[in-house]
Amino acid sequence: MITLLRRLVIPTVMLLAVVLVPSNVAQAQSAAELERRIDEAWEELEPVIEDYNRVKSELEKNQKKSEKLAEKLVPLEMRLNLAMESINEVAAHYYKGGNFSALNSLLASGSPTAFMEQLAVLNLVARDQQEQIEEVSRTKRDYEDQKAEIDALILEQEEQVADLERRKDEIESELAELEELLDAAYTQVGAGTGTGTGEVTGGCPAVTGSGPGYTAAQFACAQIGKPYQYGSSGPNSYDCSGLTQAAWAAAGVSLTHYTGAQWNEGTPVSRAEAIPGDLVFFYDSLSHVGIYVGNGLMVDAPRTGLNVSMRSIDTMPIAGFRRPG
C-alpha cells in the first residue's frame, strides 16, 4: 500500500532538486509547493482527528452515564436487601413460631374471628413486601441492562479510539517528515520557516461588540500564539474544535469537542449576518472550524506545527456559519 508520504515525497524530491538551482524565485516556488502539499496532506489528516474527537466525546459521555447508573444501583440493591430481610422476618415470625403461639392463644380464647383477621393482615403484609421486592428487582434489572449496554459501547469505542490514534500517528509521522523538508527548502533561500496559513496581524477581535459571542471571540484572541495539539481544548494548546469549545465555555455555553456536533449545536446564520463569536466551518466534511472575529477574519488552530492565529476566513472553502447559545 503506497503511503501518503510516498505519494507526496516522490514529487517533492524533484522539487528539492530545483532548490539547488541558483534562482531564489525557483527556490521560493519549491517551498510554496511543499507548503501546498503539506496542506493537502493535512486535509486528509484533520477529518481523522475530528473523528477521533467525536469518538472520544461520545466515550466520555457514556462513561459518565455508566457511572451515574452504577451510583443508582447501590441504593436499589440496599432497598432490595432490606425488603428481603423484612419479608423473611415476617415469614419467620408467623410461620416458624408466632403463628402457632397465636393459634394456641386464639383457641384458648375461643376467638377464631380474631385469628382469621391476623392471617389476613399477614397476607396483606407479605403481599405488600413481595410487591416491593418485585418493583425494586425490576428497576434494578433495568439499570443493570442499561449499564451493560453502555459498558459494551464503551469497550467498542475504546477500540475505535485506539484505531484512530494509530492512523493519526502514522499520518502525523509523515507530516513531520514533510515539515523537515519544508524547513530545509526555506533554509536554502534564507527565509526561515513559513506558515502558508494566511496569518494576519492587527486588532482582535476585528470589530467591537458585547454579549456571549464577543466574550468567546475575545477568549479566542487571547489564545493566539499557543500551539496546535490534536485532542486538546486548552489551556496551553488546542485543536480547532477544542479552541471553539473553550472559547464558548468562557461565555457559559457548552459545546462538544467535535466539529460535526458543534455544527448542530448552533443556529445557522449567513455570512452577511455573522458577528464575532460565530463559528465558521470549512470543507464539505466540516473537518475544520474557527471563531469569527469580524471583517472577514477568524481565529483558529490551523494544523500541527503551527500556532493559534488570526487569518482570513477565505483561506479555505467555507461550509457555513453557526451561532451557539
Q: For residue range 112-162, what is the model confidence (pLDDT) as tens digits? A: 566 566 566 656 666 767 777 777 778 778 888 888 888 988 998 899 889
Q: For residue range 83-112, what is the model confidence (pLDDT) as tens digits? A: 667 666 666 665 555 554 554 554 455 555
Q: For residue range 23-42, what is the model confidence (pLDDT) as tens digits? A: 554 555 677 787 788 888 88
Phi and psi torsions of 210, nearest 5°:
-155, 175
The count of C-alpha atoms lying within 13 angstroms of the C-alpha of 149, restricted to the half-sphere facing its C-beta, is 8
Burial class (CB in 10 A: 0-12, 13-18, 19+), 44: middle
In this predicted structure, what is the pLDDT of residue 38? 82
Look-up: residue for cell 468567546? Answer: 216
What are 232's three cell numbers? 486538546
Residue 184 pLDDT level (bands cut at 50, 70, 90): confident
Q: For residue range 225-275, what is the model confidence (pLDDT) as tens digits? A: 999 999 999 999 999 999 999 999 999 999 999 999 999 999 999 999 999
**178 has pLDDT over 90:** no
Q: Are 313 and 290 in contact (CB under 8 A)?
A: yes
* Angle at which helices 24-92 and 112-189 cross, to 10°: 170
Q: For residue range 260-313, what is the model confidence (pLDDT) as tens digits? A: 999 999 999 999 999 999 999 999 999 999 999 999 999 999 998 899 999 999
Close Cβ partners of 99 (under 8 Å, ≥ 6 residues apart): 93
In this predicted structure, what is the pLDDT of residue 123? 67
Close Cβ partners of 247 (under 8 Å, ≥ 6 residues apart): 216, 217, 219, 220, 223, 277, 291
Q: β-strands 266-269, 318-324: how paired?
A: antiparallel
Residue 324's beta-bridge partner residues?
A: 266
In this predicted structure, what is the pLDDT of residue 18? 39
**13 has pLDDT over 50:** no
Q: Percent of the chain beyond pLDDT 90?
A: 40
In this predicted structure, what is the pLDDT of residue 319? 98
